[in-house]
Structure 1
Amino acid sequence: MLANGNVKMTNYRWVVCSMLFFATTINYLDRQVLSLTWKDHIVPEFHWNNTDYGNITSIFSLVYAVSMLFAGRFVDWLGTKKGFLWAIFIWSIGACLHALCGIATSGWITGDWFVSFAGAKESLKQVSDTVLVTTTSVMFFIFARIVLAIGEAGNFPAAIKATAEYFPKKDRGFATSIFNAGATIGAMAAPATIPYIAKYWGGWEITFIIIGALGFIWMGLWIFIFKKPEEHPKVNKEELSYIQQDDIGYTEHSVQTKRMPFLQAFKYKQTWAFAVGKFMTDGVWWFFLFWMPAYLSSVYKLSGTESAIYLTVLYAITLLSIIGGWLPTFFVEKRGMNPYSGRMRAMLIFAFIPLLALLAQPLGYYSVWVPVIIVGIAGAAHQAWSANIFSTVGDMFPKSAVATVTGIGGMAGGIGSYLINKGSGVLFDYAEKTQMKFFGFEGIESGYFIIFSICSIAYLIGWVIMKSLVPHYKVITDI
């Protein structure tokens, strides 16, 4: 109680935001294990090339895309609490399943399914048909990756829905940038831990199990921490009023609990604008996430442990993305813009920054640090962009439709990611095999220059299309 008799507002919404942050951190740790172990540990065992790895990551992206379409609907139907629990349970199972792929490959080929991790390695060394080993292992890794993708697709629809439930519109961009920073922390923590676990603590299999188990710990906490704000005993009346300030006097408040028919979502230009923005840009971040370890290995001949410091610094730089949550608030509160206009102004600024990626390859001859720093800055711009594009959904759609629309946009982003991952693997193998020349680069370096160039211009193209579809702020009220 304050001296003047007013009750101090609680801040439980930030506890919920911290849980979303840790879920996103775990999400990105789980998907990074493969990218940080395949070159050093999996290639010698299963004889993969870039195309094999590209196929696995692209299938992950495609399944993630399709699952996002249904995950949002699933979360809206089941509710934030249960929907999130199911999502992280499934993806944690999928993460741990990767550890069994060596045993499954050995069992499929030799008929002996009851062997240890070390026994599976020894069995595969005796197999002379390396093509069989490669194709069989890829099949099992794709299966594990599919389970991982189905579960991970639920993270962002559930997190965005939780943010819409616990934060007013003016704070959602900042809250989203906070939990979305979990992607950066996860990406940063991965190279600082995973290569060393794989090398010194029992191999790549144990690494998948250790990282995958983190999700089960999170589930235990979420069960006790999360309830809707109007039902939570730790959210007092003052905080609830602050959270629901956008609903005060809002004539459509009565329809907040109505679910939007799935197909109806596609009739709004706001849905298509969000989907286009995700399609154009999600693949950039996934390329940085899945291929930068391979880039340092292929171009600079660095092992997983040798590249750890570079990757850690790269993803640490992306923490600058937290500014992305503050900038729209500045435009809204200091410049008097509406939430959508403030976000679009901020996103235009962020869209110019990835143009630096055009210099990553040309200046990379001076030092490996040059592309690392440039990609880190471009990654920060992406995460700032991502936090704000997610928040545009909450700005214009009622809370009951947020997860559904987020899922549709996530599907579009996953399709874009599939294309860039699939294309990158094929392009890199082709460039390396034919010693392709492009703009002064030769071999696999020419392939990376092409992909870096695509990544650099994706955001400006996406912004222009979004602005063309939804030039002005317009709230959906006819659901």
Structure 2
Amino acid sequence: MNKVNQSVGKYRWTICGLLFFATTVNYLDRQVLSLLSPKLSEEFGWSNSDYANITAVFQFIYAISMLFAGRIIDKLGTKKGYILAIVVWSLGAIMHAFSLPVGTAFSTFMVWIGVGAVPVSIAGFMLSRAVLGFGESGNFPAAIKAVAEYFPKKERSLATGIFNSGSNVGAILAPLTVPIIAELYGWEFAFILVGVIGFVWVFFWLIFYEIPSKQKKLTKAEFDYINSDETEVIETVSETNEEKVVWFKLLGYKQTWAFVFGKFMTDGIWWFFLFWLPKYLEAQFQMKGTEIVLPLSVLYSMTMVGSIFGGWFPMYFIKKGYTAYDGRLKAMFFIALFPLVVLLAQPLGHFTFWIPVVLIGVGASAHQAWSANIFTTVSDMFPKKAIGSIIGIGGMAGGLGGVLVSKLGGYLFDYYEAQGHIQTGYTIMFVLCAVAYLIAWSIMKLLVPKYSPINDL
């Protein structure tokens, strides 16, 4: 334990632990479908485009909901807003197990309103993914807001990196458990069991979380430390009384657009890795069921290192005298170089499947390092009352980028599979994955080259 923690306490890390737990559950819930996609595609006769449409529904609803999720979190406050989010997404996860009756009702309704028939299995999973996406959109706005409440700026990227590594843990636990559960008890039970875990988290959140100004478990020394670099007035009243921030005003800042473009260019890459890698292993190496457990577990274990390292990396530059934002952006440039190794995944993949697994793991690790920093640029630039809204706007952009990536992938894979060259489709997608971060960083640097905080909200 360092001297700072000894003198001021460490309760803020308990909150970080809860955020880590929630993010782990978040990624467990969203990954069940991708791990079972080869089995479900065979059972229901889905094409790559059908699967892309199902995943795109999640991403589209997630994207649109992110815009409102940030506002809802700002309005309800972190405590109530987070509970609402995780209850909704846990119910959405459980709905997947009942996709056939849900799909029958939804398909009948679509015919009744004159839209046309939708295959029952596709309709059921689409509706379930929509509910899941709506609920999961609240996770990152709430978590980033909680970090801004409980951590001084110099610790926020580390705290974000730690809680964001929950996405890696969820991604690791899912392939270790979901295929086995599905094999033993059926795919429906896998969705139910993972969905129930969210309700366990709510119990602990109710016990341990409160805003710092009302948190009885927080010492005065730690409270003062948390707010030591703040220029804004510390909250002494309920969060719901915060002054409303107008969306259109936020869109007038280059800082907003830097975050938005960075998310648009890179979120879809992570989701491509998350949703399509099981199908890639099946298409490229004929791996199914429990065969994918070890390679995916290794790959996602690598990403945990990226998330923690990404949270620490900017502190190296900050200690050298850079502002938090400038140090973060410098770190993000070096991070953006690592995904370039994904360009070698296909050319070297004919030797052994472990080569693309490791190379894609490096790219996915870089994304998590990138993510830990791009989220924290918001709290570098904007006052606390606007953080949820900015995260929501950027999250919407990232979700829409994810929709485009999924739709493009589904089209390319079906097109080249029909020609007997599905590997070409994956080659094209891996090129996009490799260069997206450098493009994103260049635009962000162009829009906000130096630290420029917003002080007029």
| TM-score relative to the length of structure 1 | 0.89
* 162, 168, 179: which one aligns with 1:178: 162
Which residue does the alignment assign to 1:271? 256
Q: Is the 8 A contact 2:213 2:235 kept in 1?
A: no
* Matching of residue 446 in structure 1 with residue 427 in structure 2: no
Quote the Cα distance in structure 1 between the aligned partners of 2:43 and 2:366. 37
Q: Is the 8 A contact 1:278 1:412 kept in 2?
A: yes
Quote the Cα distance in structure 2 between the aligned partners of 1:22 and 1:385. 20
Alignment deviations for residues 52-107 of structure 1 (CA, whole Å, 9 cap, x no partner):
10000011111110000000011001100000000001000000000001344568
Which residue does the alignment assign to 1:79? 77
Which residue does the alignment assign to 1:478? 456
Q: Report deviation, 1:293.
A: 0.5
Larger Rg: 1
Which residue does the alignment assign to 1:16? 15
Provide structure 1 residue ranges, at least 5 long, that are not aligned to the other structure: 1-5, 111-131, 436-442
In structure 2, relative to structure 1, the CA distance for the partners of 1:295 and 1:81 (3 Å cut) is: same
* 415, 422, 435: which one aligns with 1:457: 435
Which residue does the alignment assign to 2:277? 292
Quote the Cα distance in structure 2 between the aligned partners of 1:278 and 1:259. 24
Alignment deviations for residues 87-140 of structure 1 (CA, whole Å, 9 cap, x no partner):
001000000000001344568899xxxxxxxxxxxxxxxxxxxxx8x8221111
Q: Is the 8 A contact 2:104 2:124 kept in 1?
A: no
Quote the Cα distance in structure 1 between the aligned partners of 2:446 and 2:328. 15
* Matching of residue 169 in structure 1 with residue 153 in structure 2: yes
Quote the Cα distance in structure 2 between the aligned partners of 1:199 and 1:76. 42
* 223, 227, 241: which one aligns with 1:244: 227
Quote the Cα distance in structure 1 between the aligned partners of 2:279 and 2:253. 40
User: Secondary structure of the residue that 1:361 maps to in structure 2?
Assistant: helix
Quote the Cα distance in structure 2 between the aligned partners of 1:453 and 1:104. 38
* Matching of residue 212 in structure 1 with residue 225 in structure 2: no
Mapping for residues 362-441 of structure 1, pairs under 5 Å: 362-435=347-420
Quote the Cα distance in structure 2 between the aligned partners of 1:340 and 1:109. 49
Quote the Cα distance in structure 1 between the aligned partners of 2:199 and 2:406. 29
Identity %: 51
Mapping for residues 7-406 of structure 1, pairs under 5 Å: 8-40=7-39, 42-105=40-103, 135-200=119-184, 202-247=185-230, 250=231, 257-321=242-306, 322-333=308-319, 335-406=320-391
Quote the Cα distance in structure 2 between the aligned partners of 1:45 and 1:156. 34
Q: Report deviation, 1:43.
A: 2.2
Q: Is the 8 A contact 1:293 1:304 kept in 2?
A: no
User: Secondary structure of the residue that 2:214 maps to in structure 1?
Assistant: coil
Amino acid at match of 2:188: E
Q: Is the 8 A contact 1:7 1:238 kept in 2?
A: no
Quote the Cα distance in structure 2 between the aligned partners of 1:227 and 1:246. 21
Amino acid at match of 2:140: F
Q: Is the 8 A contact 1:315 1:376 kept in 2?
A: yes
Alignment deviations for residues 398-448 of structure 1 (CA, whole Å, 9 cap, x no partner):
00110100000000000100000111011101110023xxxxxxx110000
Alignment deviations for residues 302-337 of structure 1 (CA, whole Å, 9 cap, x no partner):
01200110000000011121111111111111x100
Amino acid at match of 1:282: D
The number of residues matched between the two structures is: 441
Quote the Cα distance in structure 1 between the aligned partners of 2:141 and 2:106. 37
Which residue does the alignment assign to 1:115? none
User: Secondary structure of the residue that 2:217 maps to in structure 1?
Assistant: coil
User: What do you get for the CA RMSD once the two structures are aligned?
Assistant: 1.9
Quote the Cα distance in structure 2 between the aligned partners of 1:415 and 1:244. 35
| TM-score relative to the length of structure 2 | 0.93
Amino acid at match of 1:57: T
Which residue does the alignment assign to 1:3? none
